[in-house]
Chains A and B, each alone.
Chain A
Amino acid sequence: MTVHTTSPQFKQNAARALHDPQLQKALNNVKQGFIDKRQAAADKLPEFEALRDSARDIKNHTLEHLDLYLEAYEQKVKASGGHVHFARNADEAREIILSICREAGARTVTKGKSMISEEIGINHYLEANGIKPVETDLGEYIIQLRNELPSHIIAPAVHLNATQVEQDFRRVHTHLDAKRDLSEPVQLLTEARAVLRERFLAADVGITGANFLVAETGTSIIVTNEGNGDLTQILPRTHIVLASIEKLVPTLEDASQLLRVLARSATGQEMSVYTTFSTGPRRSGDADGPENYHVVLIDNGRSAMLGTSFEEMLRCIRCGACMNHCPVYHAVGGHAYGWVYPGPMGAVLTPSLIGVDKAGHLPNASTFCGRCESVCPVRIPLPKLMRHWREREFERHLTPASVRSGLSLWSFFAKRPALYRLATRAAMATLGFAGRRRGRFSWLPLAKGWTKHRDFPAPQGETFQARWQRERKGGTA
């Protein structure tokens, strides 16, 4: 089992989000912030499109030989004095992590930002076992205080505003002066930094995710803008890297190519502020670093995607560009998707990981506008993969009965051109006549979904094919 999902209630989640004025305001920042910055960064780099091809090819090559690269990586980590653990699912991953923490006698654990840790629900598990996890990425720290899931994979608290954060800090940081001024964002930042500094120093174990794992060196790489990842992995005696198996890349050269598209696609930066490489525990002579270095490699549904039409999704490097450019994400935000991964990448990945019976709405809730695919740094054909999910649903009769029956009625006529022309001619004549005075309908039977938000323009009355037949006799029927 992984974390709780509300994906089956996507429609209700979305309706709530659409009526939340504070959320709607926050989502405007996504629209304005990320898109222009990515575009500017892409425009500044003449080889950006070629780099995207190269990034796609590197990931494809790795996935084709994933078993070999996993083994090579494992050997390198061991050779550098680290430990590698393989977890088939979330349960196994949690048990492995808990046992490492217990071995280290851990009471508190600091954490860098990691989506896989959200996926396996490690925080609640550690807490239930008497170990206190502390998120150290500012956004993650805030949502941990609120007991929420991230609403965006790189900007977890993007759904919140400063006033909400201030209220949370006052509620939780009760050891500080109640009259302190927190009206400026920089004051919130300073307070979080001071509180977190003590946690960094007190932590027994540090857990980070990984943006890339390098097979040739046994290195894990993380990128952050706050430096919290470095403090998380350097200060405690034990460092645990959590990563899903598709994070592998063959070489450092490959990783650096992917880094060149990652930050540009994500935030429009050329590079993130910190790019941190870690290879094994502290060696004699090293100034710092952990005594124990563990890597937990988690499958949790990935290997089942290999060799299927969803394998391409495993190229994803979690930049968030797809959701930043998605009109549906802009409208409803990340929480509406109901599980760990929102937006277009979530709409493809979530059904793979928790089942299309639960997450069936997500690949359907897309206009197929294709903007996600047009910005994906590893060129994942997201609309095509969402369509594949719709095909699976249709095959398994998970498509709603109303859609199925509407579709079969339509195709019945569409396959019979003579009948089609007769029926549409009559229908359009009727509708055209009924709508001739106003030119539009504000209500139509069977079209409530349409007319709830917009008028239905009236047809002109005669069909094209009827008029063509009459005027030109050009048809071959």
Chain B
Amino acid sequence: MSVLASSRSGKPRVGLFVTCLVDLMRPSVGFAAVKLLEDAGCTVEAPVQTCCGQPAYNSGDRGTTRDLAMRIIETFQEFDYVVSPSGSCAGMIRKHYPELFEEDPNWRAKASALAAKTFELTSFLVDVLGVTQVDATYHGAVTYHDSCSGLRELGVRTQPRLLLSSVRGLTLVEMNDSDVCCGFGGTFAVKYSDISGSIVDAKARNVEAAGAPTLLAGDLGCLMNMAGKLSRGGKPVQVRHVAEVLANMTDEPAIGLPREAALKQDQP
């Protein structure tokens, strides 16, 4: 039992919900999250997992969503907390899982129990664990994009900024409209490609106008969208997940930059 397990060691036992995109595209974000959680005194486990079901949910396929949600619930219900380096995926579990099982009291209770202990990473560190500073150094100015689900579903706004303010050498420069959508929207970016392209274009202009050489955010989907737009426009902005900076794990090339350092001079 989770309560016993955690009380025995005295440490909160956290299940890391790593998210599909971090799992597939940028595992270093997952390891940064693990480091932050362990530094804050948690025991972290990453059980075998797939998708939270959000793509199906937002495409109107409730049946598939429920199937995937039930898997996640069963996988993670044993932990004291479920933490995710994504406001969008944490929001799916926290805000939407209980709605999925309105006609099924048994599963609804399980979904609600999981929802209550599921958190976005920075909000978990600050709001639950009371972390106010991290041990990290990052030289230069960064600007921060507030991803929509984290901001409006989970109230993530001050938490990443508080933690960033403790990073040595880092200055936060706010961009205009940091709380406006980047145009990603999951499958929206592909289904309504032209509209999405126009929205991310406006975001890229705000990032550029802020003048900071680094762009951070808490959701990899938004980050890939913005990084892809900035690199397409030839803008030399380093784009990273906020966890990488907070965990002092910025050795990996920024999103969309080459992995083979020797070939970096090929870059425009």
User: Which chain A residues have a beta carbon within 8 Å of chain B's beta carbons?
Assistant: 11, 14-15, 18, 327-328, 330-332, 364-371, 373-374, 387, 389-395, 399-400, 403, 407-408, 410-411, 413-415, 417, 420-421, 424, 427-428, 432, 435-440, 442, 447-450, 452-465, 467-468, 472, 474-477
CB within 8 A of B46: which of A330, A459, A475? A475
Q: Does B149 contact A (CB under 8 A)?
A: yes
Q: What residues of B have a CB within 8 angstroms of the CB of A18 in the complex?
A: 194-195, 198
Return the chain B residue nearest A28 by Cβ: B202
Q: What residues of B have a CB within 8 angstroms of the CB of A410 in the complex?
A: 51, 55-56
Instruction: Given A439-B258, A455-B231, A460-B259, answer yes or no on A369-B192 (Cβ-Cβ < 8 Å).
Output: no
Which of B3-11, B25-33, B106-114, B120-128 touches A? B25-33
Q: B13-47 vs A: 1/0 string, CB under 8 Å?
A: 00000100011111110110000000000001111
A180 to B228, CA, bound (A): 52
> Does B56 lie within 8 Å of A407, measured CB to CB?
yes
Q: B224-244 vs A: 1/0 string, CB under 8 Å?
A: 110111011000000000000
Q: Does B152 contact A (CB under 8 A)?
A: yes
> Does B61 lie within 8 Å of A394, measured CB to CB?
yes
Q: What residues of B have a CB within 8 angstroms of the CB of A458 in the complex?
A: 256, 259
Q: Does B255 contact A (CB under 8 A)?
A: yes
> Does B27 lie within 8 Å of A463, measured CB to CB?
yes
> Does A331 lie within 8 Å of B27, measured CB to CB?
no
> Does B45 lie within 8 Å of A453, measured CB to CB?
no
Q: What residues of B have a CB within 8 angstroms of the CB of A447 in the complex?
A: 190
CB within 8 A of B266: which of A437, A456, A462? A437
> Does A387 lie within 8 Å of B266, measured CB to CB?
no
A458 to B258, CA, bound (A): 8
Q: Does B136 contact A (CB under 8 A)?
A: no
Instruction: Pick the 6 closest A-B CB pairs, nearest first.
Output: A367-B185, A453-B197, A454-B228, A390-B60, A394-B60, A464-B27
A42 shortest CB reach to chain B, Å = 15
Which of B62-70, B137-145, B158-166 touches A? B62-70
B64 shortest CB reach to chain A, Å = 5
How many contacts between A and B, using CB within 8 angstroms? 235
A472 to B48, CA, bound (A): 13
> Does A417 lie within 8 Å of B49, measured CB to CB?
yes
> Does B48 lie within 8 Å of A476, measured CB to CB?
yes
B6 shortest CB reach to chain A, Å = 16
> Does A459 lie within 8 Å of B24, measured CB to CB?
yes
> Does A399 lie within 8 Å of B59, measured CB to CB?
yes
A374 to B190, CA, bound (A): 25
Q: Does B2 contact A (CB under 8 A)?
A: no
> Does A440 lie within 8 Å of B193, measured CB to CB?
no
> Does A364 lie within 8 Å of B191, measured CB to CB?
yes
Q: What residues of B have a CB within 8 angstroms of the CB of A332 in the complex?
A: 195, 198
Q: What residues of A have a CB within 8 angstroms of the CB of B60 in the complex?
A: 387, 389-395, 399
CB within 8 A of A475: which of B22, B47, B149, B228? B47
A28 shortest CB reach to chain B, Å = 10
> Does B263 lie within 8 Å of A437, measured CB to CB?
yes
> Does B30 lie within 8 Å of A464, measured CB to CB?
yes
Instruction: Given A437-B263, A464-B23, answer yes or no on A457-B193 (Cβ-Cβ < 8 Å).
Output: no
> Does B256 lie within 8 Å of A453, measured CB to CB?
no
A148 to B257, CA, bound (A): 48
> Does B192 lie within 8 Å of A11, measured CB to CB?
yes
Q: Does B135 contact A (CB under 8 A)?
A: no
CB under 8 Å from chain A, chain B span 145-203: 148-149, 152-153, 179-181, 183-202
A221 to B25, CA, bound (A): 56
A37 shortest CB reach to chain B, Å = 16
A477 to B44, CA, bound (A): 16
Q: What residues of A have a CB within 8 angstroms of the CB of B30 in the complex?
A: 464, 468
> Does A450 lie within 8 Å of B189, measured CB to CB?
yes
Q: B249-268 vs A: 1/0 string, CB under 8 Å?
A: 00011011111100100110
Q: Does B58 contact A (CB under 8 A)?
A: yes
* Complex A-B: 5 CB contacts under 8 Å: A367-B148, A459-B25, A468-B30, A474-B45, A476-B48
B38 shortest CB reach to chain A, Å = 11
Q: What residues of A have a CB within 8 angstroms of the CB of B184 in the complex?
A: 367
> Does A454 lie within 8 Å of B232, measured CB to CB?
yes
> Does A367 lie within 8 Å of B183, measured CB to CB?
yes
> Does B48 lie within 8 Å of A442, measured CB to CB?
no
> Does B24 lie within 8 Å of A424, measured CB to CB?
yes
CB within 8 A of A421: which of B48, B62, B192, B253? B48
